[in-house]
Amino acid sequence: MKSAKRNQTSILTVRALRTQQADGVDIYSFFVPGADLLRIAEISRIHRDSDGSLQGFQRKQIRNHVRSIVEFLDQGSVLFPNAIILAISPRAIFTQSRGSKPEGDVGASQSGTLRIPIPEDGSKEAWIVDGQQRSLALAEARDRSFPVPVVAFVSEDLAVHREQFILVNKARPLPPRLINELLPEVDVTLPRDLAPRRIPSAIVNLLATAPDSPFRGLVSRVSDDNPRAVVVDTALVKMVRNSIGSPLGALAPYKASSSQEADTAAMIRLLTAFWSAAADVFPNAWGKPPTKSRLMHSAGIEAMGYLMDRVMARSPANGDARRHAQETLQRIAPYCCWTNGRWPDIDREWNDIQNNSRDIRLLSDQLARLDHAQLLSKVA
């Protein structure tokens, strides 16, 4: 293992094994000193650029986690065989070794030399897909020559990096909010437990950014630090999933079936109509932190989602959905306690409502009773 210099680019040279998966994608397995990982690979952290497009995929550094790994590595003689997974540029060159194969070789891989460029301008030819906390710790450890196993697949496609990041981490305690925000950006077949989350996540992404969305600029997401954001994205994702998944949900008629794809445009129109009406009818509660408005609280979002299912099911097919929602919400508005007061039937102060199943059910039932009572009085 050595470094050479050529045309303003250093080369990290390692002995490696090469195999292929998928449609001829090269995969390499090798060892490098832990301190060299961040020389050849960068951490592509999740963020939004100036146009609002999602960039990267890695969560923020977890300092306590890194420190605990450093402390472990600095104990002395330790076993640390956890492989780092990299995506690597095709500009890394593999030269297969000459000579006969050993007797009994199963032929699953070829041995050789892998040369990884290290540009002088600080750019990297590899990206860490799994193991960023370990890589950061190895860079700080006292033993900078500590050998680390690496598995690297050749790809410069960010979508592939995200796909592998999600698949590697889905069985680990990866923050659900991070997965939810990445899912709409991954155009691959997902495991059964992740696939149903893609459409709700994509819809919430549109609600957070669309010019006509009442939630524009109000959704708190992993990728940005918006001081105006007051609604946690997971609350909206859950509200949308509940409506799609329920047979009586307002969004259920637009979900995918064996004969048609999901009509996400219709879902967005319905959500925009109802929640725009909510913003119109409850202006003093809209856009405030959940500590000052339970309408913006996760419990309020979910409970109002159940009310949305009731209200929008009665919306005329060719009518003004937003006006229909406004008229319905205006009838119950005098009895709603989003920012002060006490809910009439459940006997709870407005700020006693918490994000747990019991309180969400109580608030949902309260809103349903109010809607039912006002509907009967209208008919009478």
- Mean pLDDT, the chain, as a whole number? 85
Q: What is the pLDDT of residue 359?
A: 95
**SS3 of residue 48 by DSSP:** strand
Q: What would the pLDDT profile of 203-213 be if each residue is shown by its tens digit?
A: 898 899 899 99
Distances (CA, A) of 224 to 45, 48, 158, 169, 298: 11, 6, 19, 21, 19
Is pLDDT of 189 > 70?
no
* pTM exceeds 0.75, yes or no: no
Q: 26 pairs with which residues across the strands?
A: 20
Contact call for residues 11 and 3 (beta carbons, < 8 A): yes
User: For the segment 84-115, what is each residue's pLDDT rounded down to a tens digit?
Assistant: 888 898 999 999 998 777 777 777 889 999 99
What's the average model confidence in pLDDT over 224-248? 90
Closest residue by Cα to residue 116 from 62, 154, 172: 154
Say which DSSP state 109 is in: -
DSSP 8-class letter at 318: T
For residue range 330-380, list pLDDT tens digits in order.
999 999 999 999 998 888 999 999 999 999 999 999 999 999 998 877 765
